[in-house]
Amino acid sequence: MGQKPTLKNVAQLAGVSEMTASRVLRGVGDVSDRTKEKVKTAARELGYVPNRIAGGLASRSVNLVAVIVPSIRNYVFPEVLTGISDALAESELQPVFGVSNYDLEQEERVINDMLSWQPQGIILAGLHHTEAAQKMLEAANIPIIEIMDCDGDPIDMCIGISHRQAGQDMARLIMERGYRKIGFVGTQMPLDFRAQKRLEGFKSELAQNDMQLSDEIYYDARSSIAKGRDMTVTLMERSPDLDCLYYSSDLLAVGGLMHCMTSGLSIPDDIALAGFNGLDMLDGLPTRLATTHVPRYEIGLRAAKAILARKENPDMPLKDKMQLLDISTEMADTL
């Protein structure tokens, strides 16, 4: 990583004094709108983040690891956070969490806030960020660990799975079982880039076998069992000849399973179902759901350990810029 940008760099690029640049970025003093815009534009271009640590500590970092995830309301990211917390438990570092709600602009604001406290490192979900967020992360000069997704080019290091591969694997399994009229049910798309990549992989595998989705339905909100049930009803009423449904998450798939069971449909004879995530909650279902298992705890554990390793040896070379973890696709009772 390069040299971290300074207030002096911002002032020089904006053509103002350091005092003026400081006043603008702190939101104090009487400064013209034109000058404010010049300073803020320069800060964005350089990826500069003001240091919130008090003067005597200004050259130091705090013992915090910033962790930014899209949501803590589902069953997925709490397991990741547990892995991070467990890895840091015996160290002096403490995780501090931020949530982006699958909104890149909100993620940019959270990144700015987190970096202003000079953390020892950042762990954040995904490889997709705004241009300004990307510049801030590249200029931060601390370990940046992007997790969950390895389909792309990381800023520093990424630890996760290939979502395109997950989609391809499930498509192959569904086709091997003889299903031909396949529907897709998804939420948070295209905001959820990982779900979008799974769908792309799924469709590409179908296309290689001269097939395509028969129907698909989306909803721009978080996954839930109730939403999975409702969208399954809508899709099956619209396309009654479907013989298999692929869901972007297990939560949606459980909703579809509940609808099918209460409607007297035989699974998988009347309709086959498959989800994604391999959630522990599936163990309590009367019918085992076909899904893709993701090592979420291991991803969090490895990410935090990478931060610790870099803290111990800041000059250590990255042996594995991309740590691609294995996934497993389970056929179970619904496929």
Q: Nearest-CA neighbor of 114 among 96, 94, 91?
A: 96
55 pLDDT more than 60: no
Q: Nearest-CA neighbor of 159 among 143, 170, 142, 139?
A: 143
24 pLDDT more than 50: yes
In a domain, 281, yes or no: yes
Task: Tell me the CATH number at 10.
Answer: 1.10.260.40
In a domain, 113, yes or no: no
Question: Confidence class of residue 52 from pLDDT cuts 50, 70 and 90?
Answer: low
Mean pLDDT, rounded, for 194-222: 93
Residue 17 neighbours by CB under 8 Å, 6+ apart: 11
In a domain, 316, yes or no: no
Reduce the DSSP state of residue 146 to 3 states and report it. strand
57 pLDDT more than 70: no
Side-chain-facing half-sphere of 162: CA atoms under 13 Å: 13
In a domain, 334, yes or no: no
In a domain, 269, yes or no: yes
Mean pLDDT, rounded, for 101-116: 94
Return the percentage of the chain with pLDDT > 70, whole number: 95
DSSP 321: S
Distance of CA 43 to the CA centre of its chain: 26
46 pLDDT more than 90: no
| CA distances to 75, 215, 329 from 171, in Å | 24, 15, 10
In a domain, 310, yes or no: no
Mean pLDDT, rounded, for 98-111: 94
CA distance 272 to 175: 12
Q: What is the pLDDT of residues 283-312, one digit of tens each?
A: 888 888 999 999 999 999 999 999 999 888
Domain around 37: 1-48
Burial of 218 (0-12, 13-18, 19+ CB in 10 A): middle
What does the pLDDT read at residue 134? 95
Q: What is the pLDDT of residues 115-138, one digit of tens each?
A: 988 899 999 999 999 999 999 999
What does the pLDDT read at residue 56? 42
In a domain, 28, yes or no: yes
Mean pLDDT, rounded, for 232-238: 96
List the beta strands (DSSP E) in the chain. Answer: 64-69, 94-99, 121-125, 144-149, 157-161, 182-187, 215-219, 244-247, 272-274, 291-293, 322-324, 328-330
At 148, give phi and psi (nearest 5°).
85, -30
Question: Confidence class of residue 2 from pLDDT cuts 50, 70 and 90?
Answer: low
Count of C-beta atoms within a 10 Å radius of residue 272 = 23
What does the pLDDT read at residue 331? 80
**Token digits of residue 86:** 């467990």
In a domain, 299, yes or no: no
- pTM assigned to the model: 0.81
Task: Tell me the CATH number at 271.
Answer: 3.40.50.2300
Mean pLDDT, rounded, for 92-106: 93
1 pLDDT more than 70: no
- Decide: 326 and 105 in contact? Cβ < 8 Å: no
Total domains in the fold of the chain = 2
Question: Confidence class of residue 31 from pLDDT cuts 50, 70 and 90?
Answer: confident
CA distance 101 to 220: 12
Mean pLDDT, rounded, for 240-245: 96
Residue with tokens 């962790």: 67
**Token digits of residue 82:** 């547990």
Q: Nearest-CA neighbor of 87 among 298, 320, 246, 319?
A: 298
CA distance 166 to 156: 24
33 pLDDT more than 80: yes
315 pLDDT more than 90: no
Q: What is the pLDDT of residues 169-203, one digit of tens each?
A: 999 999 999 999 999 999 877 778 999 999 999 99
Mean pLDDT of the chain: 90
